[in-house]
Amino acid sequence: MYPDDFETFEVDDDEPVEDPFLVASPMIRVHDLSESVFCSRAGVISLAKSAEDSDTEPNLGPKLSGFWNFDEHRFNEAINQTLLKSVLMSVLFAATCILGIVGATYSVIWIPVAYFAARWVGPQAWRSGYRLFNLVLERRRLLQASCDDFAVRPTKVQYLSWWVLRRFGFECILPDDLLSDDREKVVGKPWRILQLGDDILVPVVRKHRGRNTRGPQHTVRLMAYCYLIERCTNAKSPFGVLLFNSGDQCVIIPNDGEHRSEFWEALHDFRELLYNGPNAGALLVDPPGSRCSGCEFGRPRKYRAGVTTTILDGEELAPFLDDGFHSDCGDRFCWCPLHSNKLARMEKESENFRSADV
């Protein structure tokens, strides 16, 4: 059905580990590694926060209206059930409205009936109608998806619909356990895994916000999961999938030599950064471009002693205050990141200043 000569990660378990950065390295989560590709400081903060985090990903980003694991059969079943509920709710809503409005002209006792229709039955009817619309829309996308341009061993980065993968035969499963590799000290769990037969497992990660573009951090993240899948299971992982924030669009990134070397390089750089600690040069340089503007670690919050305190590695940090505001990154690296909220506050202050001047 598909070729079995996939390019794979090759790690020799018999080869002794000599890299001093690796020997001294803590277990690195895939999430922290990809943060470090986005910004070195973000990687360090994320690693320091990991003790507080759970393994479960926050329920953000694309959800495909909750139908990510649906096939045609499940869509048909759900459409029939929702259609029935929608018709029932609409009839009930219309009946209670008419009864309430007509009855109210005779007696005030009918007013609660009209109120019940407006408050309870109406939203129910609206919700089932909306779900029905989404179900029909996504089933249409599934049925229209064409697998002609898709190969199970892709040779290039490719943008396509999620439904192409489902139509091709990939089952979407929720991974149970963390994937962990003690040799390279990497651990993580992708959002979902696409399974084809018994020997192909493909990691899926999501982009929580922003445009439908990918950055190097997404490539590193997916290659890290491909690596973990190949190390922890007997399956091959020929590519990874990044699912975008909205709609059904995703991008597939081949597990080839070029992308694997991006992963190894990022892992080496992050270990070196951790090894050198606060003296690491990359931590002393402000990140390029406007990365801080949308970064959660740089989001300023009003300081309230004992309530908003930054805790990293189990320790409370002294707040680095900027006009009564502080942030995780500001406290950790003693500076004021240019977050979009800070820029908006500065803009507002200068407007107030100008209007006071006039």
Q: How far is the CB of 1 from ligand SF4 (least distance, A)?
A: 44
Spell out the residues 6+ positions from residue 251 whose beta carbon is closer than 8 angstroms to its own.
157, 158, 159, 160, 212, 214, 241, 242, 244
CB of 218 closer than 8 Å to CB of 190? no
Residue nearest to ligand SF4 (CB): 298
- Reading the block at residue 288, the tokens are 């390029």
Q: How far is the CB of 185 from ligand SF4 (least distance, A)?
A: 23
Q: How far is the CB of 297 from ligand SF4 (least distance, A)?
A: 4
Q: How far is the CB of 301 from ligand SF4 (least distance, A)?
A: 13
Closer to ligand SF4 by Cβ: residue 241 or 336 = 336
Identify the residue whose tokens are 């999938």.
241
- DSSP per-residue string spanning 53-95: S-SSPPS-S--GGGTTT--HHHHHHHHHHHHHHHHHHHHHHHH
Closer to ligand SF4 by Cβ: residue 19 or 296 = 296
Closer to ligand SF4 by Cβ: residue 42 or 186 = 42
Burial readout 106-121 (b: 16 or more C-beta within 10 A, e: otherwise): eeeebeebbeebeeeb
Q: How far is the CB of 284 from ligand SF4 (least distance, A)?
A: 11
Q: How far is the CB of 278 from ligand SF4 (least distance, A)?
A: 15
Binding site for ligand SF4 (CB under 6 A): 39, 41-42, 45, 287, 291-292, 295, 297-298, 329, 337
Q: How far is the CB of 196 from ligand SF4 (least distance, A)?
A: 37
Closer to ligand SF4 by Cβ: residue 158 or 341 = 341
**SS3 assignment, position 158:** strand
Closer to ligand SF4 by Cβ: residue 41 or 260 = 41
Spell out the residues 6+ positions from residue 87 whose beta carbon is closer than 8 angstroms to its own.
none
Closer to ligand SF4 by Cβ: residue 95 or 343 = 343
Closer to ligand SF4 by Cβ: residue 190 or 287 = 287
- DSSP per-residue string spanning 249-301: EEEEEE--HHHHHHHHHHHHHHHHHHHHGGG-HHHHSPPSTTGGGG-GGG--E
For the chain, the residue count is 358
Among 19, 82, 68, residue whose Cα is nearest residue 248: 68
Q: How far apart are CA 305 and CA 340, in angstroms?
A: 24
CB of 22 closer than 8 Å to CB of 40? no
